[in-house]
Structure formats: structure tokens, C-alpha cells
């Protein structure tokens, strides 16, 4: 049905450019946010190497609630300001954490996680969700990953 896959040699900005374009195409014309988040989580999993968790937490009634994801079952609700996700949601700023054990208040959903990238998804300036990526590798995420997932968040914010 859908045939999206990264170029075999793509990496860095090229990979994220391709990911954002594939995501925009995938959500085009579908108005159900859960369906779109599910497909985008699957797309991230397919494109971005070395992950053990990839998905969404949605803002609902003043806290983050688990959304579509790929990975082990995770915490259902996260208070604003709590953990990496709650910090990203409260501040509206991307959190790139090279060592989760050094992050005060990190919430361990999967013991395999060593580093984490959380990017707020904003609509009309308000945080409506976060995209959370976990890796079993320390220091997995850098500026290219943060900017790439920020571009992805912007590309899908009207569709989730």
C-alpha cells in the first residue's frame, strides 16, 4: 500500500529530509490524528537506526498521555515538567539527552534506553504532543537528529 523507505546510503540531514517528506505524504488527506501518529511512529522506526522506542505522547487535560509508538509498553501518563518528555512539553524546547541516567527525574520505561531525544510538536505556538526517541546507545542523538525531528514535527503538526 505505502512504500516508503530510506535510500540505503542516506544518513544525517539527507535521511531526515527524506523522512519529513515521506511523513508529509503519508498524512496528506487523512484527518484522524491517531492514525497519522501511528504511521509516523512506524516511519521513524523504519528510517532512524539504533532506536528501542519511537512514538508520541499527546497533551491531554494538562498532562502527557501515551500515544502511538513502536517499542516496549511505556508509562501511560507523564506530568508536565516530569522526566525528559515532561520537560520538553513544559519548556517547549527539544531535549537531547546523551545519558539518561544523568538526567534528573528521567522516567525509565525501557531499561535498555541509554540516550533520548524528545521534540515538542507545536500548533499555533502551543505544545500539542511530543515525539520521543530512545536509543540503547549512549550519545546516540545530536544536532542533526534534533533538527531533523523538529522538521518532522513541523511537517505533521496539523495532521495529529
SS3 112: coil
Cβ atoms 128, 157 nearer than 8 A:
yes
Q: Which residue, 25 or 34, is less far from ligand SME as judged by CB? A: 34
Type and span of the H or E element at 21 = helix 12-27
| Residue 131 binds ligand SME (CB under 6 A) | no
| Alpha-carbon dihedral sign for residues 69, 71, 74, 79 | negative
Residue 48 found at the interface with ligand SME (CB under 6 A): no
How many residues bind ligand SME (CB under 6 A)? The answer is 15
Q: Which of 23, 48, 59, 78 binds ligand SME (CB under 6 A)?
A: 78
By CB under 6 A, tell whether 107 contacts ligand SME.
yes
- Smallest gap from residue 39 Cβ to ligand SME (A): 19
Stretch that binds ligand SME, among 5-13, 22-30, 41-49, 104-112 (CB under 6 A): 104-112
Query: Given the DSSP bridges, would you call strands 115-123 and 63-71 parallel, antiparallel or unpaired?
Result: unpaired
By CB under 6 A, name the one of 109, 119, 129, 152 that touches ligand SME: 109
Tell me if 144 contacts ligand SME by CB under 6 A: no
Cell numbers standing for residue 122: 507545536
What residues line the site for ligand SME (CB under 6 A)?
53, 74-75, 78, 83-86, 106-107, 109, 113, 116, 132, 134
Amino acid at each position: 500500500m505505502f512504500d516508503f523507505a530510506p535510500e540505503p546510503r542516506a544518513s544525517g540531514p539527507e535521511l531526515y529530509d527524506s523522512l519529513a517528506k515521506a511523513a508529509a505524504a503519508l498524512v496528506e488527506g487523512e484527518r484522524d490524528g491517531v492514525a497519522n501518529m501511528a504511521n509516523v511512529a512506524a516511519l521513524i522506526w523504519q528510517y532512524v537506526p539504533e532506536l528501542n522506542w519511537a512514538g508520541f505522547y499527546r497533551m491531554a487535560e494538562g498532562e502527557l498521555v501515551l500515544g502511538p509508538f513502536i517499542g516496549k509498553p511505556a508509562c501511560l501518563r507523564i506530568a508536565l515538567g516530569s522526566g525528559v518528555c515532561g520537560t520538553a512539553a513544559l519548556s517547549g524546547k527539544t531535549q537531547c539527552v546523551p545519558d539518561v541516567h544523568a538526567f534528573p527525574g528521567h522516567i525509565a520505561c525501557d531499561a535498555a534506553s541509554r540516550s533520548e531525544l524528545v521534540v515538542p510538536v507545536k500548533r499555533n505556538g502551543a505544545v500539542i504532543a511530543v515525539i520521543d526517541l530512545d536509543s540503547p546507545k549512549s550519545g546516540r542523538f545530536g544536532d542533526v537528529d534534533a533538527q531533523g525531528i523538529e522538521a518532522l514535527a513541523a511537517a505533521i503538526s496539523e495532521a495529529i
